Chain A
Amino acid sequence: MAGLQARGLRIVLPDGRPLVDDFTLDVAPGEVVVLLGGSGTGKSTFARLLFERDELERSGFEVIGGELAFERADLGLVPQRGALFDHLDVRGNIELALRYGGAGSDADTGAGGRDADPAAWLERVGLDRALAEPGVAVDRLSGGQAQRVAVARTLASRRRLLFLDEPSVGLDPHRVRMLARLLRRQARELGAAAIVVTHDVALAAGAADRLYVLDAAARRVHLLFEREWPGPLEDSQLGPAERGAWILRLEAALVDLIEKGESAAPPAPTARRARRLRRGVVGAADRMTEPFRAAASSLAAGAGQLARHPRDFAAIAGRVAVQTLVRPAPFYAVVSLLIGYTVLYVISKVGGAGVRPDALIRQIGGSYVVALAPPLSAMLFVAASGSATNAWLGAMDLGRQTLALEALGVGRRPYLFGPSWFAIGAAYLVTAALFAAGMIAGGLLLCRQNGMVGGLELLTGDLLDPRPERTRYAVRAAFLVWVYAWGLASDVVAKGGARKPDADAVTRAMTGSVVACTLWVVAWELVTVLVIL
């Protein structure tokens, strides 16, 4: 079954106000239905209800009673502006859908024949096959092209129940009509069903078999023109005047409903203060404990992804490695060199006049690296590399790419968070090593200035072959680097992967991660010092 039936669903907002009292909507295979409504009437909530009901309920919404029947495996999402995955090229977007699409399909082997050809899917939605050439970046596409690629991606994943969320945003009237025709063709040729959520009257009229509207005042879904609607205008034989008349009529009905909804007094919040407080506490605890969950789930999901989809694992891990390691590497190199030189220089001068600097440097050896490299590299890493990945993950959520992934049946945790977690951890391990090397290089400069021979051996001795009384410090440093790697990775994934309702949430996540990771570093520094004393 590729249809959907919703009967009498009641959706309640976190503050206790009802959003919708009766949500009823049907769509059958080969049908396109359009859900119209004003802003804030619950269209997006309906999308979340379909794609991330658990998240919705965890954030305080309640879905009470009624019936919602559909096959999750049939449901595909075409988000606003396509939400193409920007870490992949156009071909990669389609290939990802092909690999993960359909129940029981083998991801990396894919289906055979024409269905396995990304170019064929692009062609099917009226795009040039050349766009399927490797290396065509998604940001080179126009809005209409991106939207079509998104449709092709969803279809390629063998989803036959399409949910299109404001698909005409940013499209000119010509491309809106093209989109409407495309939807009709897919419904006709593939027997696909589609639910289109839009404000766009032209698209609605052009594509819809039935028109639903969310009535904010009555908090229910109405079927518009129940017995009058002539069907999708793009498929009908109506003349331009009649088409225009229907569009105007539709627009008038929609405006009328929106006006009614805006004039109706909103229901008062009914949730008690204690409940809100409890939710606030639970939410805060949830946010605080999320890094721990992220650690466990990312480890399990990432390992599974590496075993089952090594190519996808490598794609995400490579992307994160570039963000966290390659791009900031010069920064780490310069900073560590300067810190290494400066710290050792200051130490070499603490004896004052008459004390040989080289004698003090010999006493210190590489202990300044052992002591300082883990915390300094960790704090710099989370501020630079961690924030980069945090922002990337946040932007993916903000741009609904994450939701699109889920809608394709590609789990966020295995596909995105697991490899990211591994890549961040590994990148930090490499960064810490680079940072230590930089500090040693800075120390070597000072050794050369003081005419010391064997400086490299001296400065690396405490790391590579420490004398017995300093072994525990080297072990501690290695342990801290290990703990920081996965602690930082867990926090970045937890905060970066959290839902981002707006752009400010991205910066909040970045700042919060820097603070939390710094506290993590400080706590471990103190605890381990107390243990080895």
Chain B
Amino acid sequence: MIARRRIARHRIAGRWIALVVGVGAVAGHAAAFPWLIARLDRAPLRVRVRAPLAAPGPHLAISADLPGDAAARARVVVDGEELASAAALASLEPGPGLHRVEWRARYRGGIERRVGTTQLVGPFQDPASPPCSARLLVGQGLLDDGRAGPGTLAHLVAALVEREMDGFDAFPVGAFQRVRAVRIRWVGSRPKQPGHLRVALELGFHRAALELTIRLETHIVGGQLRLSSRAEARVKLDNRLVQWMSDLIDGDEIAARMARREIAAALDQVMTAPPPLPLGRGRALELAYCPGRDIEVVDGSHASVPLAVALAPAAAAARRAGRVGAPVLLPPAPALAGPPAAMTAPLAIELDGNALNGLLYVLWATGYLEESLAGSGIVERFNRDPIVAELLSVRARGPSLPLPPTLAPSTRPGQSYQIGVASALLLEDGALRTPAHLFGRAGFDLAASEPDRPAGLAPRLSLHELGLTCEPEPGLLEPCYPELAAQLIERAPEVHDQLSAWFSDLLARLLVDQEIAPAGSLARFRLRRSAIHPPPPGQHGPLRIDLLGVLESAP
């Protein structure tokens, strides 16, 4: 009986122990759950980077720390190309341009998270001594169409001479009547004779005709266009008796005077570097003569004036605004020399990659691009998009451009250049405001535009890379609204038209319906429209912009 009682007591104790163990197991599970969540929760792809906006040398200067789980999974992708290992990033020499370094983690089901940073890598152009990266092409068609028709230099010269000679009356030639003939032609260089402009004029007087031949040589000296002229004159009198009197008229002097004044003034106009294109608020886009380079003249075809983008004012403005960066110096491309293909326009400008980067830099450094981007309303359109407005709580503010948009040779088949743009946004989600970076890289699809089309410009941007990254604190990158970003990337083709329209508008404002007239000039070039001739697909040659317009006397 005692043994049975002992057994019974043991059983009761066993029941209590079992109850305590059972309740303890449940309580243990309840306590373990938060620990389990904390232990097994995957670290999001959050990257702490140290990366200046612009690399000091030709290598990417980016170092990154990733959390353990993400480090094991993340792939490093530079400009869309995956690196074999993260260590390869330090030794990568990607070439000049804006480079996008992304850390991507893929998850089952086609889910990808990515964060990235953008760095500008040199070498850079020296704003104090920019490279000769553009040329102005003055076509024979602008000089003389054979009829001295309106809009040509011949027509303008004739008008200027007649205005100058109006009222001239001298014995024995009599009163000046009109310019009977004018012929202007590019004459290519020959041994011991540099290329020059040959102007032949025949002035009609009451009793005689005066034939003038003027040879004008052009040089760039100290960044200025210098003209040197040599004039010859021969008087043809109707009456041989008074031939002896010809000496009394100093025909050479008249020719020299015309060469110095009317003709030189007109020529100065057509061969001048395009005057600064005003960008508003005192800003300008300016091409300057390239010091130390000769003007090339091709017989009966054209003359080529070497130019460089004037970077110094923009660089000074950027320094004042605290902006970092400079236009990159691209590797040597096909030289800006020789006859342009199918030059039919009176005037044309050829710009190579460095010139284009220089122009973009000026537009960026002066703040013009940001204003233009803001004016395009792309961000507002995103915020007003019905889906965004009705379904999403996130709104975008901005953007600003911390680095100059940069052109680089495209690696994509059929495209010559691609443009990379890094922008900074502020994403607002209720009271939460998160700084973010949006990087886009677009390929230029500059189909040769039709000159007779009103717009004249039809560049098409194909957005083939888009990355959105949040930076809640400086140097900490994390995926930004990943589902939203994924949708944006998926919908990127839908914004091609918007981007293309913005870029067309930007070019049109610069290149359509402009009047180019240096101060005090007797003539001006009225630019009606422009036509773009891209380099052949796959080549990184110069971009030619035909300036379609007429030369006319200044009012």
Binary per-residue interface labels of chain B (10-30) against chain A in the complex, 1 for a CB within 8 Å, 0 otherwise: 010011011101110110011
Across the interface, do B19 and A289 meet the contact criterion of CB distance under 8 Å? Answer: yes
Chain A residue with Cβ nearest B29: A483
Residues on B with C-beta less than 8 A from A291 are 22
Partner of B23 from the list A292, A365, A475, A527 (CB cut-off 8 Å) is A292
Docked complex Cα distance between A452 and B454 (Å): 44
Interface of B is mostly: helix
Across the interface, do A475 and B26 meet the contact criterion of CB distance under 8 Å? Answer: no
Across the interface, do A296 and B8 meet the contact criterion of CB distance under 8 Å? Answer: no
Query: A506 contacts the other chain (Cβ, under 8 Å)?
Result: no
**A293-B19, A295-B22, A296-B18 known; A457 and B110 CB under 8 Å?**
yes
Query: A458 contacts the other chain (Cβ, under 8 Å)?
Result: yes
Partner of B4 from the list A53, A460, A471 (CB cut-off 8 Å) is A53
Residues on B with C-beta less than 8 A from A294 are 18, 22
Across the interface, do A490 and B22 meet the contact criterion of CB distance under 8 Å? Answer: yes
Docked complex Cα distance between A528 and B33 (Å): 8
Partner of B22 from the list A292, A365, A457, A465 (CB cut-off 8 Å) is A292
Partner of B1 from the list A67, A366, A466, A471 (CB cut-off 8 Å) is A67
**A475-B36, A531-B33 known; A457 and B42 CB under 8 Å?**
no
**A67-B1, A293-B15 known; A479 and B36 CB under 8 Å?**
yes
Chain A residue with Cβ nearest B32: A479
Residues on A with C-beta less than 8 A from B107 are 461, 465-467
Docked complex Cα distance between A475 and B45 (Å): 19
Across the interface, do B19 and A296 meet the contact criterion of CB distance under 8 Å? Answer: yes
Chain A residue with Cβ nearest B14: A297
Task: For residue A248, give the distance in angstroms from its CB to the closest CB of chain B.
Answer: 41
Docked complex Cα distance between A472 and B36 (Å): 9
In chain A, positions 284-308 with a C-beta closer than 8 Å to chain B are: 289, 291-297
Across the interface, do B19 and A472 meet the contact criterion of CB distance under 8 Å? Answer: no
In chain A, positions 451-472 with a C-beta closer than 8 Å to chain B are: 454, 457-462, 464-469, 471-472
Interface of A is mostly: helix
Query: A363 contacts the other chain (Cβ, under 8 Å)?
Result: yes
Binary per-residue interface labels of chain B (79-111) against chain A in the complex, 1 for a CB within 8 Å, 0 otherwise: 000000000000000000000000000011111
Query: B279 contacts the other chain (Cβ, under 8 Å)?
Result: no
Binary per-residue interface labels of chain A (517-533) against chain B in the complex, 1 for a CB within 8 Å, 0 otherwise: 00000000001100110
Docked complex Cα distance between A365 and B483 (Å): 12
Across the interface, do A458 and B109 meet the contact criterion of CB distance under 8 Å? Answer: yes
Partner of B41 from the list A359, A365, A461, A472 (CB cut-off 8 Å) is A472
Query: B389 contacts the other chain (Cβ, under 8 Å)?
Result: no
In chain B, positions 375-393 with a C-beta closer than 8 Å to chain A are: none
Docked complex Cα distance between A468 and B482 (Å): 11
Across the interface, do B109 and A472 meet the contact criterion of CB distance under 8 Å? Answer: no
Docked complex Cα distance between A527 and B31 (Å): 11
Task: For residue A38, give the distance in angstroms from its CB to the closest CB of chain B.
Answer: 29
Residues on A with C-beta less than 8 A from B432 are none
Docked complex Cα distance between A468 and B108 (Å): 12
Residues on A with C-beta less than 8 A from B15 are 293
**A475-B36, A531-B34, A531-B37 known; A462 and B22 CB under 8 Å?**
no
Docked complex Cα distance between A472 and B39 (Å): 10
Residues on B with C-beta less than 8 A from A502 are none
Residues on B with C-beta less than 8 A from A479 are 29, 33, 36
Residues on B with C-beta less than 8 A from A457 are 108-110
Across the interface, do B37 and A472 meet the contact criterion of CB distance under 8 Å? Answer: yes
Docked complex Cα distance between A366 and B25 (Å): 31
Chain A residue with Cβ nearest B43: A468
Residues on B with C-beta less than 8 A from A366 are 109
Docked complex Cα distance between A475 and B70 (Å): 18
Docked complex Cα distance between A54 and B110 (Å): 62
Residues on B with C-beta less than 8 A from A309 are none
Partner of A468 from the list B18, B21, B45 (CB cut-off 8 Å) is B45
Query: A476 contacts the other chain (Cβ, under 8 Å)?
Result: yes
Docked complex Cα distance between A66 and B29 (Å): 48
Binary per-residue interface labels of chain A (262-292) against chain B in the complex, 1 for a CB within 8 Å, 0 otherwise: 0000000000000000000000000001011
Task: For residue B67, give the distance in angstroms from its CB to the closest CB of chain A.
Answer: 10
Query: B441 contacts the other chain (Cβ, under 8 Å)?
Result: no
Docked complex Cα distance between A179 and B41 (Å): 69
Q: Which of A289, A294, A460, A468 has the most CB of B within 10 A?
A: A468
Docked complex Cα distance between A289 and B40 (Å): 32
Query: B44 contacts the other chain (Cβ, under 8 Å)?
Result: yes
Query: B524 contacts the other chain (Cβ, under 8 Å)?
Result: no
Query: B113 contacts the other chain (Cβ, under 8 Å)?
Result: yes
Residues on A with C-beta less than 8 A from B21 are 295-296
Task: For residue A126, give the distance in angstroms from its CB to the closest CB of chain B.
Answer: 36
Binary per-residue interface labels of chain B (38-78) against chain A in the complex, 1 for a CB within 8 Å, 0 otherwise: 00111111000000000000000000000000100000000
In chain A, positions 358-402 with a C-beta closer than 8 Å to chain B are: 359, 363, 365-366
Task: For residue A525, give the distance in angstroms from its CB to the closest CB of chain B.
Answer: 12
**A295-B22, A295-B25, A459-B109 known; A468 and B37 CB under 8 Å?**
no
In chain A, positions 130-148 with a C-beta closer than 8 Å to chain B are: none
Across the interface, do B18 and A297 meet the contact criterion of CB distance under 8 Å? Answer: yes
Task: For residue B310, give the distance in angstroms from its CB to the closest CB of chain A.
Answer: 50
Task: For residue A526, give the distance in angstroms from its CB to the closest CB of chain B.
Answer: 12
**A292-B22, A296-B25, A471-B42 known; A365 and B37 CB under 8 Å?**
no
Docked complex Cα distance between A467 and B114 (Å): 12
Q: Give 27 CB contacts A-B under 8 Å.
A: A54-B11, A67-B1, A289-B22, A292-B19, A293-B18, A293-B19, A294-B22, A295-B25, A296-B18, A296-B21, A296-B25, A297-B14, A458-B110, A462-B109, A465-B107, A466-B42, A467-B482, A468-B45, A468-B113, A475-B41, A479-B33, A479-B36, A527-B30, A528-B33, A531-B33, A531-B34, A531-B37
Beyond A53-B4, A467-B111, 13 additional contacts (C-beta under 8 Å) are A68-B1, A293-B15, A293-B19, A460-B108, A460-B109, A461-B107, A466-B42, A466-B108, A468-B43, A468-B44, A469-B482, A472-B41, A531-B33
Instruction: Give B contacts to A, CB under 8 Å.
Output: 1, 4, 8, 11, 14-15, 17-19, 21-23, 25-26, 29-30, 33-34, 36-37, 40-45, 70, 107-111, 113, 482-483, 487
Instruction: Give A contacts to B, CB under 8 Å.
Output: 53-54, 57, 67-68, 289, 291-297, 359, 363, 365-366, 454, 457-462, 464-469, 471-472, 475-476, 479, 483, 487, 490, 527-528, 531-532
Across the A-B interface, give the 3 residue pairs with the lowest CB-CB distance, nearest first: A461-B109, A292-B22, A465-B108
